[in-house]
Structure 1
Amino acid sequence: MNTTHAIQLLDTHAGGDVSRIVTGGIDLLPGASVREQMHYLRDDADGLRKLLLFEPYGIPEMSVDLLVPATHPEAAAGYIIMEVMGYPIYSGSNTLCTATAVLETGIVPKQEGIQRFKLEAPAGLVQIEARVHNGVVESVTCEGLPSYIDTYRATINVPGIGQLHYSVAYSGGFYALVDATELGFKLTLDEEPALAATAHKVVEAIQAERGFSHYTLGDVGPLPFLHFMGPEERIADGFVRSRSTTYVHPGVICRSTTGTGTSARLALMHYENRLKPGDRLETISLRETGFIGTFTGTHRAGAYQVVENTITGRSYVLAKSEVVINCADPLVNCGELHHILSDRHASMPLGIPNG
């Protein structure tokens, strides 16, 4: 068996969150949908996620997006999202990065002005609107997942912190929404370690107390995320700005505010009757980057008023590279991924140029 393989990557970032887009080197995955392919990767080939997110190739703060052929006829490409906590069915920052990658690689040829196309995430079809000027992708707007408030202003006693209030939104994952000022935070970069430690305690306390169930997906596991909300500043009529930051895993605070965190925040603002269609929220990260969430409407789903929204941001290309995987390297475990590594290097029929 060949012990050396190569994977092609396009490293990007949106709001500071690095997404490694895998453009070649992986064989076609079984599954009739991108969701089924995600399940196969998760259950039978999790080594790809581990390889690219941990040493010696990466760090847990990164994300990985594997480009796969779309199974839906309306989609230009599919993508599977991999993060340190596992396989989310959707992510705003990863979608912004993947949309930029399919434009930069020519899967979707760039057109000047506004162009629209669809991608297929594990969550389903995602409408993309890209703004291109002089050949540069200046911004991407993607659909946020329908979001809703599950719990409003609950109280919990957190060991080492005391009593605090929190709400819970679903926006692609369950988020605890916490007022940062209630905990004494100003949401500045120097607070990042303390924010991660505090969020971990809060999330553990909530997990120990209760679970959450989505109205169609059912049990999606313990609540994993926490979004710190700073004070709101009204910039113009229907436009609010707020410092924000999102915790996703022990020790990991996202560099961006996250698209799903922004969607969760929109759901809360709507629940409090503070939004009308077209209103926008700009969330500002610890690193002074931002995403803009736009409230576009609502629909009823069971007992919930579900918020429809979009997320706008910009993704930047960092590097185009080929990672060499040597299965004889003691730091590399090929056992969980050797069966999906392609000897042909660029194996996915996505029209990705190799030059």
Structure 2
Amino acid sequence: MSRQFALRLMDTHAGGDVSRIVTSGVVDLPGDTVRAKMLYLRDQADDLRRLLLEEPYGIPEMSVDLIVPPSDPKAAAGYIIMEVMGYPIYSGSNTICTATAVLEAGIVEKQEGIQHFTLEAPAGLVEIEARVENGVVEAITCQGLPSYIDTYDARIDVPGIGEITYHVAYSGGFYALVDATELGFELVAAEERRLADTAHAIVEAIRADREFSHYSLGDVGPLPFLHFMGPVDNPGSGFYRSRSATYVHPGVICRSTTGTGTSARLALMNHRGEIEPGDRLETVSLRNTRFVGEFVARDHAEGHDVVRNTITGRSYVIAESEIIANVDDPMIEHLTLNHVVAPRG
């Protein structure tokens, strides 16, 4: 019999973005912190990410969240985010999905009403508020990373598109922010392919033109994301709404508006003086799914106005399963898994 490995999974989605939560089957990874464990996976064991996001087990539009022991005693669990572009240190939709999964899996005891607990992401501790009604996790509110505008009203000539205006925010990764209307988009599902192609061309042009550095983290890699912004409506006092779409990888527009994309938009609205602490922004995706970002407070750090924020959304459990990986399967035999995945049985 061929040697096999097994991984227990809970598949979830938030706003349409599927996050595959790995609850068991991976050995205890080296590293004193969740960030260190993430770096070990990235540098020494990236085949686990590839296994779960490539054929025959996954697709590029998915994400993976690996539950690991936390390093901080205040956290109930740690989690490492894996996506097709690599290892983000934070993600709003992945955090919403992971928080739901730890409740549904019993890692955190589910309590009726409002409950609070802490998770540890590679970016650090994340405070979670869960609303449970009749045993169902109806909503998760999580901290967004402190977000700020790095670049405002820049212009660049994009091959095949022409000159565009863009802004750049940091909200867990660097985001190019562009006005969808100026590019002729209404942000509806039928435009998804063209949105992805347009975003790819813009991101490639910006990456070829310049680099970005976080004021305290330094180099966090080349610009990965683009957030298309629709017009803003104001349906109520301190409440705003906008259609939005987030590009994350060639050919991939997220099904949700993304938590970090929503945080980036809050940073831009603050930079323009359009919102105040306590105001909320609901971003609406191509599939009409929604996240709500709240502008909690404004800080100042090294010359930047930094927006502290939360993201609220709902995650649904869509499957529980066990993946069996056969090391002699020609689809995966090029992957090395034996140092991070426990043998089956």
The bucket for the TM-score relative to the shorter chain is: over 0.9
Residue equivalent to 1:69: 69
- 1:46 and 1:337 in contact (8 A); partners too: no
- 1:51-200 equivalent positions in 2, closer than 5 A: 51-200=51-200
Take 2:333 and 2:314, find their aligned partners in 1: how far apart are those partners?
Answer: 34
* Count of matched residue pairs: 345
Deviation at 1:333, TM superposition (A): 3.4
Query: How far apart, in 1, do the equivalents of 2:80 and 2:213 lie?
Result: 23
TM-score by length of 1: 0.96
Mapping for residues 1-355 of structure 1, pairs under 5 Å = 3-333=3-333, 335-343=335-343
- Which amino acid letter does the alignment assign opposite residue 125 of structure 1? L
C-alpha distance in 2 between matches for 1:72 and 1:60 = 31
Distance 1:104 1:190 in 2: 35
How far apart in 1 are the matches of 2:251 and 2:303?
A: 35
Instruction: Indicate the SS of the match to 1:119.
Output: strand
> Residues of 1 paired with 2:241 and 2:305: CA distance?
24
The residue type equivalent to 1:88 in the other structure is P
CA deviation string 1:123-173 (max 9, x = no partner):
000000000000000000000000000000111111100011000000000
Residue aligned with 1:49, SS:
helix
Deviation at 1:2, TM superposition (A): 6.5
Paired amino acid for 2:177: L
Contact in 2 for aligned 1:247/1:254 (Cα 8 Å): yes
**Deviation per CA, 1:184-225, whole angstroms, max 9, x where unpaired?**
000000000000000000000000110000011111111010
- Deviation per residue, 1:282-329 (Å, 9 max, x gap): 000000000000000011111111100000000000000000000010
Contact 2:132 2:139 in 1 (8 A): yes
Q: Distance in 2 between matches of 1:337 and 1:299?
A: 44
> Match of 2:183, as an amino acid?
L
Amino acid at match of 2:64: V
Distance in 1 between residues matched to 2:73 and 2:333, nearest whole Å: 36
Amino acid at match of 1:61: E
In structure 1, distance between residues paired with 2:337 and 2:257: 32
* Alpha-carbon RMSD: 1.1
1-structure distance, mates of 2:36, 2:173? 18
Q: Name the CA distance, whole Å, in 2 between partners of 1:226 and 1:134.
A: 38
Gaps of 5+ in 1: 346-355
**Structure 1 residues 18-67: Cα deviation after superposition (integer angstroms, max 9, x where no partner):** 00000011000000000000000001110111001010001000000000
Secondary structure, counterpart of 1:306 in structure 2: strand
- Aligned partner of 1:348 in structure 2 is none
Alpha-carbon shift at residue 343 of structure 1 (Å): 2.8
Q: Distance in 1 between matches of 2:110 and 2:2?
A: 37
Q: Secondary structure at the match of 2:97?
A: helix
Q: TM (normalized to structure 2)?
A: 0.99
Letter in 1 for 2:289: T
Please give the alpha-carbon distance, in whole angstroms, between the structure 2 residues aligned to 1:337 and 1:223: 30
The AA in structure 1 aligned to 2:68 is: V
- Counterpart in 2 of 1:351? none
Mark the runs of 5 or more structure 2 residues left unpaired by the alignment.
none
Equivalent residues of 2:96, 2:313 under 8 A apart: yes
CA offset at residue 344 of structure 1? 6.3
Q: Does the residue aligned with 2:145 lie in a helix, a strand or coil? A: strand
- Post-superposition offset of 1:336: 2.9
1:96 to 1:24, Cα distance in 2 relative to 1, 3 A: same
Specify the SS of the correspondent of 1:145.
Answer: coil
Secondary structure of the residue aligned to 1:291 is: strand
> Match for 2:127: what amino acid?
Q
| Partner secondary structure for residue 337 of structure 1 | coil
Q: Cα offset for 1:274?
A: 1.0
Amino acid aligned to 2:328: A
Q: Deviations over 1:321-355 (max 9, x none)?
A: 0000000100013643221111367xxxxxxxxxx
Take 1:154 and 1:224, find their aligned partners in 2: how far apart are those partners? 17
For 2:211 and 2:73, locate their aligned partners in 1 and report how far apart those are by CA, in whole Å: 37
CA distance in structure 2 between the aligned counterparts of 1:82 and 1:58, rounded to whole angstroms: 12
Which letter does structure 2 place at the counterpart of 1:293?
A: G
Using the aligned pairs only, state the percent identity: 70
Give secondary structure in 2 for the equivalent of 1:146: coil
Specify the code of the residue in structure 1 equivalent to 2:274: R
Does the aligned pair in 1 maintain the 2:2–2:326 contact within 8 Å? no
Q: Distance in 2 between matches of 1:287 and 1:293?
A: 18
Q: C-alpha distance in 2, partners of 1:65/1:42?
A: 14
